[in-house]
């Protein structure tokens, strides 16, 4: 069963130790950086992705104060746990959590060019490119009424 858990002193080292494959290192920041970023930016919510009691990944979302919309800043699944549906399951859980907030209608996420597999996964939820590029990444947007599971 896939769950999202807060990161605390009990699981910090295990989550920090999760890594993507060498070929994917340019696609996502290391978890320890993201956890530190969440400390500096308290609007960011970092969560560990678990399969029962096994940590398998990391996801972080936030309310961006600049554009007043939700962003999913990070999603990573450890190289030893990829291809098992964990990324899709974690993304679904975070989207459902964000969509509980009825005051906002858009969720943004970005993709490093060349990461076609993750872009296709985002599109299965209804994300579409919105013709923005931020810091070299292609921005995708999900409108509340386009969300599909």
Radius of gyration over alpha carbons of the chain, in Å? 14
What pLDDT is recorded for position 3? Answer: 97
What pLDDT is recorded for position 110? Answer: 93
Domain residue ranges of the chain, discontinuous segments joined by +: 2-146
DSSP assignment of 88-135: HHHHHHHHHHHHT-TT--EEEEEE-TT-HHHHHHHHHTT-EEEEEEET
What pLDDT is recorded for position 90? Answer: 97
Measured CA distances, 53 to 5, 48, 111, 114 (Å): 10, 11, 29, 32
What pLDDT is recorded for position 60? Answer: 97
Q: 133-145: string of b/e by CB count within 10 Å (b at 16+)? A: eeeeebbbbbeee
Residue 148 DSSP symbol: -
Report the distance separating Cα 95 and Cα 17, nearest Å.
25
Report the distance separating Cα 114 and Cα 137, nearest Å.
10
Handedness of CA 63, 67, 70, 71 (dihedral sign): negative
Task: Please provide residue 43's backbone torsions phi and psi, each rounded to the nearest 5 degrees.
Answer: -75, -15
What is the chain's pLDDT, residue by residue, as a tens digit (149 residues)? 999 999 999 999 999 999 998 888 888 889 999 999 999 999 999 999 999 999 999 999 998 877 789 999 999 999 999 999 999 999 999 999 999 988 888 999 999 888 888 999 999 999 999 888 988 899 999 998 777 76
What pLDDT is recorded for position 144? Answer: 84
Query: Is this model's pTM higher than 0.85 or not?
Result: yes
Q: Look up the CATH architecture of domain 2-146.
A: 3-Layer(aba) Sandwich (3.40)
What pLDDT is recorded for position 24? Answer: 86
């Amino acid at each position: 069963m896939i769950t999202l858990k807060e990161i605390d002193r009990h699981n910090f080292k295990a989550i920090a130790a999760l890594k993507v494959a060498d070929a994917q290192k340019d696609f996502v920041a290391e978890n320890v950086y993201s956890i530190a970023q969440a400390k500096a930016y308290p609007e960011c919510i970092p969560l560990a992705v678990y399969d029962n009691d096994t940590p398998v990944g990391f996801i972080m979302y936030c309310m961006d104060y600049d554009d007043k919309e939700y962003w999913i800043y990070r999603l990573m699944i450890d190289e030893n746990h990829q291809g098992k549906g964990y990324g899709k399951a974690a993304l679904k859980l975070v989207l459902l959590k964000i969509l509980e907030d009825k005051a906002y209608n858009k969720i943004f996420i970005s993709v490093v060019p060349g990461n076609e597999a993750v872009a296709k996964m985002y599109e299965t939820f209804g994300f579409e490119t919105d013709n923005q590029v931020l810091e070299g990444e292609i921005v995708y947007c999900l409108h509340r009424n386009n969300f599909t599971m």
